A and B are shown apart, each in its own frame.
Chain A
Amino acid sequence: MKNIYYMIWSDAILSIRKHNPHKKDWKISIFIFITWMHALNFWVVLLWLKYFKVLVLPIFSVDVFPGDMIDGFLAFTIEFFLPFVVLNYFLIFRNNKYEKIIMKYGNVRNNYGSIYSITMILGAFFSAILYNILSPF
């Protein structure tokens, strides 16, 4: 069975290289973008688990900077984004492992990276709206 996780990465890397051939920072760009998609994916899952009272994580807050903006972003980053930074770095980019992944999955014609990304972007937004509508006052 093909590993969907690697197929998403393979499609994403090939797409950004194809459509942005002169982009020097393509590695960090696609790394941050797909990791952000994973964070949104995780957020959507936890949001609905919270709604159905299956798993409610305690509120994680950071109070380092003045105001709420940076602290809120840091809390989101640590809770949802950082785990996938570590995971994706070691599974994809450490020792240029992505080259082997592209060798193995590059020939498979799919749009998994594209479909996954647009699903997560729109899924997160509509989940937020739906959660607000369905949540009791």
Chain B
Amino acid sequence: MQAVNYETNLQHAVISAETNARYEYFAKQNSYQSNLELDTYIGIMGFAAERGIGNSNWTYRLTNTKGVFDPTLYKSGWTPRGAVGKGLSVYELSTLGNRISLGADFITTGLAYNQIYNGSAQSITYLDAGVGTVGLIASYASYFHGVQIPVVGEFVSVYGIVRATWDVFTYLGFNYGPSHWYGNNDTKWFK
């Protein structure tokens, strides 16, 4: 009857567990995005809203004086005055832009904290949370101290477009990159 070597078996078990944990860790670190997620579009939308229409002087209406749906854009920034345009509801485009931008910021931050709580966060998640925090600090400064922090808007916007670009090129690389040029042979590129 063969003797059982408990010490050797225990060593093998520990090594196997460590190896499996290592594989799992690096698989998580190197997980690529195979599809364009909605966060890409939200990043682009937030950027466009912030830079494009957030600083615009344009106004718009949704309905005409009879209450019928008839959206119109006023590039001159026109608003009803006195009898002219009486009964029209005209809104500022910049308000809409800032709301969309703030909404995109909330979505990114909410998702980041949700992933952290659920244990599914990656490195980029903490960066998202950090940028969201900067955006919240900008809102805080405006609401409680009446201070507009100019650099923050630019920083968050630049981050938004870099993040969106990162997602787009990761998607393109994963689906159409060098690993696809020679079938499944990833080493042929270097031969």
Contact = CB atoms under 8 A, between A and B. Distances in A.
Interface residues of A, number: 48
A123 B39 CA distance: 25
A59 B116 CA distance: 11
Given A67-B39, A125-B133, A16 B143 contact: yes
A128 to B, nearest CB: 5
A19 B143 contact: yes
Interface in B117-141: 117-119, 121, 126, 129-130, 133, 136-137, 139-140
A6 interface: no
Interface in B133-172: 133, 136-137, 139-140, 142-146
B111 interface: yes
Contacts, number: 104
Contacts of B121: 132
17 contacts: A18-B146, A20-B146, A24-B95, A67-B35, A69-B107, A72-B111, A72-B114, A76-B111, A113-B144, A117-B143, A118-B137, A125-B129, A125-B133, A128-B112, A128-B113, A132-B121, A132-B126
Chain B contact residues, majority secondary structure: helix
Chain A contact residues, majority secondary structure: helix
A75 B114 contact: yes
B120 to A, nearest CB: 9
A137 B133 contact: no
B140 A117 contact: yes
B110 A15 contact: no
A89 B135 CA distance: 24
Interface of B: 21, 25, 35, 37-39, 42, 95, 106-107, 110-119, 121, 126, 129-130, 133, 136-137, 139-140, 142-146
A128 B114 CA distance: 11
A70 B107 CA distance: 7
Contacts of A114: 140, 144-145
A41 B95 CA distance: 28
Given A15-B144, A18-B146, A125 B38 contact: no
Given A59-B118, A67-B37, A76-B114, A121 B142 contact: no
A81 B103 CA distance: 14
A69 B111 contact: yes
A68 interface: yes
